[in-house]
Chain A
Amino acid sequence: MIPEIGHGALLVALGLALYGGVMSAVGGRRGRPALVESAQHAALGVFVLVTACLLLLIYAFLTFDFSVVSVATNTNLGTPFYYRITAVWGALEGSIVLWSWLLSLYTLIVILRHRTSARELYPWVLMTMLSVIGFFLLVMTVAAPVFARSLPIPPDGRGLNPLLEDSGMITHPVALYLGFTGFTVPFAFAVAALITGRVGDFWITTTRRWTIVAWYFLSLGLLIGGWWSYHVLGWGGYWAWDPVENAAFMPWLTGTALLHSVMIQERRRMLRLWNLALVILTFSLTLFGTFLTRSGVIASVHAFSQGAIGIFFLTFLALVVLSALALLAWRWNDLGAQGELDSIVSRESAFLLNNVLLVAATFTVFFGTVFPLLSEAVKGAKVSVGAPFFNQVNIPLFLSLIFLMGIGPLIAWRRASLDNLKRNFLWPVVIGSVAAIVLRLVGVGSSVAVLSLALTVFVTATITVDLVRATRARRAMGEWTLPALGGLLLRHNRRYGGFVVHLAVLVVAVGVTGSQAWSVQTETTLKRGEEAALAGYRVRFDGLRESQESNHGKVTGSFTVVAGRGAGTVLEPAKKFYPQEQSPIAYVDYRLGFVDDVYLVLGDFARDGSSATVKMQVNRMVSWIWIGGLVLTLGTLLAILPERRRPA
């Protein structure tokens, strides 16, 4: 019964979304609030129905209802309870249900928040959001029917991809999709602004928090994805420039550019056209990401299976891009700048440069990602560019961005005087240079690492200089140091939220730099009781044991890791044998540390447990990346707090 009920509910939701989209457009055009209100009810209906479908699908997964194709292809009777829930969005169909549900949730929040505050734009915002949901409902009912029925009903399913049996898979897709779908809201406001011709600053100020929230979740999704890659895939890395990673990274880059460029519009009335174009680009890139992961056009480790769905996505992508750009062309003459760039040495130009670099990074990532297609179209050979290309092109861009991160927030608007520059940057430049020299002296060989760390020190110094000066100013008015600092953060939460986010990026940058520069690894075969040493750690092989889990067999190796003269830690990397997989899946074991992670992967072993091959890695500063995620969360929270500039 579940397939029929679910499919029916989705069809009704599709009808409601289309109806709502048309009604809000007609209501907006003719100025008839009653029609818009009707569209609003339809949107509520869509939310209720999509929620019901998501719950129904989860229920089908939990109860092993193999009459639903996606249940049969993504679980089997051995799949543990916990992972049956992640299996829901481990599959193509379920991932789109989750996507649509989050989108309809956002629509609900938009209705609650903006139905009275954004009167003129509101009908068109609603129309855009309902159209996007309508597209996804079309995919769920026609292109890749979520509730397709299997005939005959198989006695057992294929089973979940073992790599997805991980707790990171519960949060990673949810965070990532919250980010992806979140950008629909600013996009919808941009479309509404273009249609109504109210292309001033209103849509920008209204969507500021939305953009921050979407950007935050996208960042979080990327970080959790890195964590998953690090502790599941067993190669000791967190980022591989895989097409699917790139797909999520590109909207992050343009979204970051947008967060900065809207400030120039708010402050200086410039870049109207640019901001609209960035929103369109960012939203299009989120669609491009879904297209890439679901069409099978570009091969990737974690791409979903291919099918008719790719053509649906491409058509929709084309529709969105072409119509949004046409709207932009239509309003072209209203989008001229009211302000002017006064000087190259100013905050505006720092922000502009930041945007240029971010967009350049986006293009290189895009180019590298579609390169296999391009080369096949032009030369007829499938060639892909790997990590070396991406690293080589992007490292200079990212280093320049870190440098600008120190300049942008402190340099004066319009035209920076020599005095302004000296006051803000003299000490940070001195401290950064000293840091570079010290790093060289202590024997850091890689110039990229030296530059990256010295820049990090420089930016941290600029933030410190600013905080110290502002706190001192408040203390001069009679406040104590700590209350002064706290008051500062809360009163100017936008500014200092931004600073904390910058700090988070710096912490991540240190993690990336350290892990790239100083991680070491080795692979050895040990007899039982034998020891190997790496970077001050000694690892002893203590034996193997075999066990049978609900859906796989497992061989676990036991290793004692000793650092210096301290007590040992036991690490137990394993190999898991799943019946549906050709080769065993590695289960990594590790001990995380503030500076060093010890990371073990079990290789080949003798059946009798007399010897085993083990890959040992000592990864440096990787934990900083995850800590950066926590700092990022704090900074974002601070930045979206309601502003309290002028307390009564």
Chain B
Amino acid sequence: MTRGWRWLVPLAAVPVLGLLAYGFTLNPREAPSPLVGRPAAAFTLTSFDGAKLDLADLRGKVVVLNFWASWCYPACYEEAPALERGWKSYRDRGVVVVGVDIQDKDEAARKFINDFRLTFANAPDPGGKVSVDYGVYGVPETFFIDREGRIRAKHVGALSDQMFAEAIEPLLAAAGTTK
């Protein structure tokens, strides 16, 4: 090999490295869910305060359905304050946040709600029926349901304030124009 050519040897590695770097632009959290676009499965639960919680009663509102558990550290701990803030700033615009606590101990779950001073509706899911209906794979997972009761988006992992707003705004806007 002539003297100059040999410096091309390291270049051979560049396409492979480039391909791997490209991997970072993909978002593994955007899990495609066959449920997106479908009507949200109906459920009736009893909340931790003893109130009846029926998804059908929330028709006409944008519902943020969040699956969580007290043992889900740190993701559920990270997103709990964000959910509470989202609920407080959007509830006047017709948004409801519903927390469904799965596979948990009652005492630990109540402590979690108290620790984070959560004021939105939260209910345990005895037997895991609701989480099975929604195909929940792990916690936290969040479903965004529009005013017609259709699932519009699914998020896997902890939500931030920004993600909350970005998912909610189009649903509020869309509902405004179709009315």
Contacts and interface: CB of A to CB of B under 8 A. Distances in A.
Contacts of B21: 314
A326 B10 contact: yes
Given A332-B1, A582-B128, A291 B20 contact: yes
A311 interface: yes
A464 interface: no
A318 B14 CA distance: 8
Contacts of A69: 74
B90 interface: no
Interface stretch (A179-187, A370-378, A585-593): A370-378
B69 to A, nearest CB: 7
Interface stretch (B33-41, B131-139, B144-152, B161-169): B131-139
Nearest to B9: A329
B73 to A, nearest CB: 5
Given A152-B115, A156-B108, A376 B26 contact: yes
Interface stretch (A116-124, A218-226, A292-300, A521-529): A292-300
Contact of B17 (A299, A317, A374, A376): A317
A328 B9 contact: yes
A317 B14 CA distance: 11
A72 B70 CA distance: 12
B124 to A, nearest CB: 13
B169 to A, nearest CB: 27
A158 B10 contact: no
B138 A582 contact: yes
A29 B11 CA distance: 28
Contacts of B173: none
Contacts of B70: 156
Nearest to A154: B73
B103 interface: yes
Contacts of A158: 71-73
A310 B23 CA distance: 10
Contacts of B128: 582
A108 interface: no
A476 B104 CA distance: 78
A579 B103 contact: yes
Contacts of A325: 9-10, 12-13
Contacts of A310: 23-24
Contact of A373 (B13, B22, B137): B22
A46 to B, nearest CB: 29
A150 interface: yes
Nearest to A313: B20
A321 B17 contact: yes
A377 B10 CA distance: 23
A328 B131 CA distance: 56
Interface string B1-12: 101001101101
Interface residues of B, number: 37
B28 A299 contact: yes
B111 interface: yes
Contact of B74 (A72, A156, A291, A374): A72
B143 to A, nearest CB: 16
B22 A377 contact: yes
A329 B7 contact: yes
Contacts of A289: none
B103 A297 contact: no
B77 interface: yes
B42 interface: no
A349 interface: no
Contacts of A5: none
A377 B17 contact: no
Interface string A132-165: 0000000000000000001010111111000000
Interface string A297-328: 11100000010001100100110011001101
A298 B12 CA distance: 22
A159 B71 contact: yes
B136 A373 contact: no
A472 to B, nearest CB: 49
B69 A150 contact: no
A471 interface: no
Contacts of B23: 295, 297-298, 310, 373
Interface string A404-415: 000000000000
A196 interface: no
A580 interface: yes
A394 interface: no
Contact of A297 (B6, B24, B73): B24
A73 interface: yes
A452 interface: no
A456 interface: no
A362 to B, nearest CB: 13
Given A321-B13, A332-B6, A582 B108 contact: no
Interface of B: 1, 3, 6-7, 9-10, 12-13, 16-17, 19-24, 26, 28, 69-74, 77, 102-105, 108, 111, 115, 128, 131, 136-138
19 contacts: A150-B73, A156-B70, A158-B72, A295-B23, A297-B23, A310-B23, A314-B17, A325-B9, A329-B9, A370-B16, A373-B20, A377-B19, A377-B22, A580-B72, A581-B103, A582-B128, A582-B131, A582-B137, A582-B138
